[in-house]
Structure 1
């Protein structure tokens, strides 16, 4: 005669433990929107911020200008700045899909948390550049402090 979970205490204990773990996990998942977060009440502070335009040149270079005064911030020569080019191209492609022009600048921000973000103010899309590594984020950080 075979024993069932109800009649065999050796089988009952693992089933009870698994059931309790599943119920606990489910309770945490359902309650998580209501639990306080470490970020609650903390307003991120921008240490440096710059609104930038990126324009392609006929020779394949990219001119980066400050939107406030129109001053040139940097020029990426053909073959240079692969991460910057690729990142901005992806955002520009999204603008084209949504029929948005280039009149609105991109916002580059260095946060007190160490995060570097690039926001497309036209679409609202924000990229965390630090997620791509220190070297790649650094390619954008230099655009925050360049005074040409």
Structure 2
């Protein structure tokens, strides 16, 4: 009877993670830590950021006013309404307004100052807040959200 119970117990060797795998995981963690430490100590520039010296195709200063409901209104620097987004269509623009609100609150910058919307010759869209140094590469937010800001540049020619 004792022999039957011994056969039913799982063997400890089968449950262990192979030592080579554990060593490899710690090696990867150590290598990552060393790369990050090297980059921080030597003040390496952020290489993943797009080139700011790329040729600009179109640029426009806009003022974004939003609400927590998702509604947003975008004005030009003269106070003319460029586009008015209802609460069911302005979610991304209102989200950018919330980010601007937070960033400008850090530096005590008024919300009614404009931001720059830039389209590069490559088609990339960027949003810059020259007051705080904040910027957003809009291509990373999907085609629908990028199109919401591209529309603001297209409406410049229609005024």
Shorter-chain TM-score tier: 0.5 to 0.7
Q: Is the 8 A contact 1:108 1:119 kept in 2?
A: yes
TM-score after normalising by structure 2 = 0.60
SS of residue in 2 equivalent to 1:144: helix
Aligned residue in 1 for 2:19: none
For structure 2, the 5+ residue unaligned runs are 1-30, 45-49
Offset at 1:51? Answer: 0.4
For structure 1, the 5+ residue unaligned runs are 1-21, 34-38
- For 1:96 and 1:53, locate their aligned partners in 2 and report how far apart those are by CA, in whole Å: 16
SS of residue in 1 equivalent to 2:139: helix
Aligned residue in 2 for 1:139: 148
2:136 to 117, 124, 127: 127
Aligned residue in 2 for 1:4: none
Aligned residue in 1 for 2:93: 84
Aligned residue in 2 for 1:49: 59
Instruction: Report 1:1-148 matches (<5 A).
Output: 43-56=53-66, 61-67=71-77, 69-146=78-155, 147=158
Aligned residue in 2 for 1:14: none
Q: Is the 8 A contact 1:51 1:66 kept in 2?
A: yes
- For 1:56 and 1:110, locate their aligned partners in 2 and report how far apart those are by CA, in whole Å: 22
- For 1:83 and 1:113, locate their aligned partners in 2 and report how far apart those are by CA, in whole Å: 23
- Name the Cα RMSD after superposition: 2.9
61 and 86 in structure 1: CA distance in 2 versus 1, 3 angstrom threshold: closer
TM-score after normalising by structure 1 = 0.64
Q: How many residues align?
A: 112
Structure 1 runs (4+) deviating above 6 angstroms are none
Offset at 1:56? Answer: 4.0
- For 1:62 and 1:135, locate their aligned partners in 2 and report how far apart those are by CA, in whole Å: 16
- For 1:44 and 1:129, locate their aligned partners in 2 and report how far apart those are by CA, in whole Å: 16
SS of residue in 1 equivalent to 2:102: helix
- For 1:56 and 1:84, locate their aligned partners in 2 and report how far apart those are by CA, in whole Å: 8
